[in-house]
Chain A
Amino acid sequence: MLRIWFEWTLAVRLLREGRTQTGLIIGGIALGVAVIVFLTALISGLQVNIIERTLGTQAHIKISAPDDVARPLRTTDDTALAVQIERRAQRLRSVDQWPKIQALLDAVPEITAVSPVVSGPALARRGAASRSVAMTGIDPARYTQIVPLDQNIREGRFRLTGREMLIGTQLAQDLGAGVGERIRLETGDGRSDVFTVVGIFELGVRDLDQRLVFLPMKPAQALLDLPGGATGIDVRVREIFEAEAVAQRISRRYDIKAESWMVTNSNILDALRAQSTSTNLIKVFVAISVAFGIASVLAVSVVQRAREIGILRAMGTTSPQILKVFLLQGALVGLIGAAIGSVPASGLIALWVQLGLSRSSRGGFDLMVTPELFIGATALATVVGMIAAVAPARRAAKLDPVEAMRAI
């Protein structure tokens, strides 16, 4: 700091003196920063919203037993006996030693919730109506940490004990069943049981509200002939974009199938990436136009201050010092512009909430506002300011003192 005291003082004084120009540059930067900050908050808020909506009804990672694979039959001298190998039909299987795996996963710091499920196809009958459903046996306390079913109950209440069941609004309508009424569930091998509807949920996805049926673990295990088993383990992780990495680790360590949402919903991930790319492109263009603005105003300032630069050179100021003065000015206007731009950005964000576009209203979502966003935008503006100043600064440093002093 001390080493550039002179350059710093000059930069600040000259900026303060050329008030109109400085104001103009800073205004431009502030505008650019406000656009970038708001846009980033908007888009990342939107993305989080999309992900939350998608993942709100499913686990981040689904663990299941490894697929059955038909192995080619070989003789001892390794000649294949069967010429054609048919792919095996996948039967419903329990995850081997699932309580142990569950206990181990509970201890993993990246994982926030673990919930075993027993699920399989069934037919739901009530009177003359029947619908095919996806029957899922759950541990209610654990499962609500994966999917907040308890918050999506429209009728009745969230409870699962004995022979009780939760069904979706669409299925309730299809079967004409309300809270307190009974529905028979049948599985393939002639096993069946009758359950009482205690709650009707609405997840907001038609297919899920039509097909999902939740039961306690025990009767589901009995219906699927998997006593004490679990067909899968649902996992929620702390960082949603770390899901795939965590899934691969689990898969390797326990030799089981672990699929993250990033694989099962890869289309969403691609869409989000495309969106991020276009947002970044817009940010780059805003940054470039701000940079050109800074560069052109500084270039004019170099011409206007040519005489003063000449005097400074005559007074023993070196050309690297002059270079530093203008680079500092670029960085300084970037920094101040960003600080000022944060105000309208915050204002726009507040307006967003004011206009009822935030999550509190239906269909709205929250903007993603973090301190890092402002810090990042400020750092960006400072660096862009300094880069934009390079050309004018070099020009100033190259000025011939004799020529410069002749200028008026």
Chain B
Amino acid sequence: MSQPLLQLSRLSKSYSVGTPVEVEVLHALDLILETGEFAALIGPSGSGKSTLLNLLGLLDRPTAGDLILLGRATRELSDADRTRLRGQKIGFVFQFHHLLSAFSATENVLMPIMAAQGRPTADDVAKAHALLDEVGLSAHRDKRPGQLSGGQQQRVAICRALINAPALLLADEPTGNLDTATSADVFELFRRFNRERELTVLVVTHDPRLSAQCDRVIELVDGDIASDRRQVASKGE
């Protein structure tokens, strides 16, 4: 039996909003994500979705409980090790594309590689170009984010998330900022990479049409997992 990609046990997160009041946002969550899953994380605003996503992405530390990524307990890791693990194994796509406006599309895609090893090699650049080709941006490789449309920028951000061939892709409202047609295109990209690369995808979304197209829907309410069901994904209109 292969190990799960990600395993949470009794994971809690509290914020001390000022003293002495401590607010627990996540209450001892247990969750397992298997390799190759395509899951949606849904729930009302304030239910702790973004907090959970930040914990899963090693951007934040849990108050209690364990998070095991690829068989590795992350609790005792130093900041530098967490940063390294994040860079190699996890890809992020945010609601707002979050591209750096001072860099071209290709350079933005290469950002995780440049952060880890410095000047990218010709192979790295070729890989970035191949990814951009795959999402249909061959003609826009050298443009700055400001010269691209919202959908194009989000596709660049997806390429950036995938450049290190991560095991897990975390997406926070990836289509929240896009019109319906563009949303469908972007979502389709996720599905394709999920199928072709066995990439595990977790999408935070408010959009029921998107969650309906996922294999698994995890619902978070008030910091607890209210429901967790697997489904046959609809094909999307």
Contacts and interface: CB of A to CB of B under 8 A. Distances in A.
Contact of B160 (A3, A307, A315): A315
B112 A13 contact: no
Given A5-B118, A318-B83, A312 B102 contact: no
Nearest to B144: A17
Contacts of A319: 79, 83
Interface in B84-115: 84, 86-88, 92, 94, 98-103, 111-112, 114-115
A151 interface: no
B31 interface: no
A60 interface: no
B54 A2 contact: no
B87 A316 contact: yes
A13 B87 CA distance: 22
Contacts of B80: 318
A9 B100 contact: no
Contact of B57 (A17, A307, A314, A317): A314
By secondary structure, the A interface counts as helix
Contacts of A39: none
A3 B99 CA distance: 24
Nearest to A310: B98
Contacts of B148: none
Contact of A16 (B86, B94, B102): B102
Contact of A402 (B54, B88, B99, B160): B54
B116 A316 contact: yes
A292 B195 CA distance: 55
A304 to B, nearest CB: 12
B134 to A, nearest CB: 20
A315 B101 contact: no
A9 B115 CA distance: 11
A405 interface: yes
Given A2-B119, A5-B118, A401-B59, A311 B112 contact: no
B94 A315 contact: no
Interface in B44-88: 54, 57, 59-60, 79-80, 83-84, 86-88
Contacts of B115: 6, 312, 315-318, 321
Contacts of B59: 313-314, 401-402
A209 interface: no
A317 B83 contact: yes
A3 B116 CA distance: 11
B114 A311 contact: no
B118 A2 contact: yes
A14 interface: yes
A110 interface: no
A308 interface: yes
Interface string A1-25: 0111110010001101100000000
Interface in B8-62: 54, 57, 59-60
Interface string A371-408: 00000000000000000000000000000111001000
Contact of B102 (A2, A5, A14): A14
A315 B59 CA distance: 10
A402 B55 CA distance: 10
Interface in B205-233: none
B102 A315 contact: no
A113 B103 CA distance: 65
Contacts of B57: 314
A314 B114 contact: no
Contacts of B60: 400, 402
A314 B112 CA distance: 9
Contacts of A307: 98
B23 to A, nearest CB: 16
Given A16-B102, A314-B57, A316-B88, A405 B83 contact: no
Contacts of B99: 311
Nearest to B116: A316
A315 B87 contact: yes
Contact of B101 (A17, A310, A312): A17
A354 B137 CA distance: 60
B102 A17 contact: yes
B100 A308 contact: yes
Contact of A315 (B54, B112, B118, B119): B112
- What 8 A-B pairs are tightest by C-beta distance, nearest first? A316-B87, A13-B102, A17-B102, A317-B115, A5-B118, A311-B98, A316-B115, A5-B119
Interface of A: 2-6, 9, 13-14, 16-17, 307-308, 310-319, 321, 400-402, 405
26 contacts: A4-B118, A5-B114, A6-B115, A6-B119, A13-B102, A14-B102, A16-B102, A310-B98, A311-B98, A311-B99, A311-B100, A312-B100, A312-B111, A314-B57, A314-B59, A314-B92, A314-B98, A315-B115, A316-B86, A317-B115, A318-B79, A319-B83, A321-B115, A401-B59, A402-B59, A405-B98
